[in-house]
Structure 1
Amino acid sequence: MFDNKETTNIQQLGEFGLIDHLTKNIKIKQPTTIKGVGDDAAVLDYAGKKILVSTDMLLEGIHFDLAYTPLKHLGYKAVQVNLSDIYAMNGTATQVTISLGLSSKFPLEAVEELYEGIYLACEKFDVDIVGGDTTASKQGLVISVTALGYADENDVVYRNTAEEGDLLCVSGDLGGAYTGLQLLEREKLVYLENPNIQPDLEGKDYIIERQLKPEARRDIIELLKSIDVKPTAMIDVSDGLASEILHICKQSNKGCNLYEEKIPLDPMTYETAREFNLDPTVCALSGGEDYELLFTVKQSDYEKIKFKMDFTIIGHITEASAGCNLITKSGTVHALKAQGWNAFTPPNA
């Protein structure tokens, strides 16, 4: 978790002293931020834009394990998973609020390390911290982030607007975060059995980073705008590719054909999955936490996107009666099923 011999007990600062300490260096960058931290509420002015709001909560022992998650990475990730939701609406993220539940095991230095990652993410994505809360927690570390943003009314993209014949696309590659998690869990067990054995993570940097330090895909939104392509529907891949496709199809009242051979897999993801006797395709379909963007576009936009290396066409939308199907590499057809993350399933179930 955090190892520092000289630590400061948060009780010495108190709640308001802690907030002042963590926010004293905030510099406002967004023109939409009129008033940030320091009053009863933030004041924002979006000048007629449609406001976008998304909230996520991360709980120790459920969403992250401090045995192998550096606090700086955790802070960075907590912001990223929320910004991803704003980009999935085809919007611009502008502000976040940060709320923490802290157990007595966390000294000030640990919270500072967490905030280093938070500040790094906000700096990289031009986002202002405009508020939040801190409280004591008996259940370990709790992180709640609310992201705000905006978009012109005509630019907002929803999940329920895919049309028959649309091309199904996804950014980046999939399954890396899940295989990275399997590797970290394995090394944790090895360490618990023998603390003298050092973790064997050599050559696995990419999938470890996919799990511990994901990147929200603002660049994909910017790319699509630069080539004058507006998705017909969009969602971020937080719970696994299959789950997200089914969300779009259900809410749009459509079916789909997804082609297994088209699903983008990084070689390291593929090799690591095989090492764990896992099907790489299943890792992509059900693993989750990739935070890539899944979206549909009109067939008439094919010429604009066909040579773009940042995303892959993986299938197409069909009429609802055709169902949601996975076409395997051998050509067989299976009903697409979601087996991804369920927040209310016990960790060992």
Structure 2
Amino acid sequence: MGMVERIKKIRNFMEESRLDLFLVTKPENIRYLSAFSAGSDARLVISSDGQYIFTDSRYIEQAKRECPDWELMQEHVGRLDSLAGICDKYNRLAVESHCLSYDLFQQYATRLKSELVPLANTIERQRAVKDELELDLLTTSARIGDSVFNQICLEIQEGLSERYIANRITYLLKEKGSTRESFDTIAVSGENAALPHGQPGNRLLRRGDMLTLDFGGFYQGYAGDMTRTVVIGEASPKLRDMYLEVLEAQELGVSLVKAGVSCREIDMQVRECLRKYGLDVYFQHGTGHGVGLEIHEIPRLSPLSDDVLEEGMVVTVEPGVYIPGWGGIRIEDTVIVKKGGCEIITRSDKGLLII
């Protein structure tokens, strides 16, 4: 599905919802619909027969290159004169209320004559199902992550700090093709691994430590995400057993992923698997989430989710257990949803790796 088809779907939605215009302000949605990569300094306006990009003088030449099918309007995002010149000709204007500040919404309401129609996650729901190009880019992001993991495992040794390892992963991501991190790299060891989103610090790796690595990078706008937990030197019997129990839950979750399945059901069954071992009380987050132009997207694999998987969605499966004062284990894959199952695109070995 190319840009033309994406815009067509939005216009069909607008017609069904009796909307004259759609004002797009979220950077990821701007990129999805126009290919413009400087979306934080831009706005899109879509009508039934027109499409406009508003950006300032710094990005006009870039917009000409990236968005040849769009009419360019040079205007700073803090100004509304040119925007009003187009919008005021129409009655009903959809805005992305979930990502507008109250102040900006009030500016639009005061300055624009159109009736503002607040919408949330309309484009995000369309983005949840990826086309072939997007799947290729996400697969490449995953390949980069696998390559980084393989390399960092050759370098990890006792005495290195969490911060050094995290910084090294960030460097390797960029060296191997990522433009930037998908999120701040997590490298936490020993008792620090009990923090699901712990910050890498000065703690030095010691023999017997678990080391959780959660990282990924953007490739042509699309995020990578994977987690592996490795062990330094030797693994205690408790650590070995718990690793296998978390791996069992993670592999169960992956096996349940297919089109038509409830995300809540997957989360529930993963928790039930951990409950067999008394570990469910240490599982502190959802089982997974969508991945794409953002690191966290629709759908959500969680106890509160009403989402149902569709073919072409890309999701993570990442159960973890976190025991204060002891440590934690998380294992995460990114997978493509298929009709009869899924394709795992993070292919690094998930067996207990002792370094």
What's the TM-score bracket when you normalise by the shorter of the two chains? Answer: under 0.3
Q: Quick one: higher RCO (CA 8 Å, sep 6+), 1 or 2?
A: 1
TM-score scaled by structure 2?
Answer: 0.23
Larger Rg, first or second structure (1 or 2)? 2
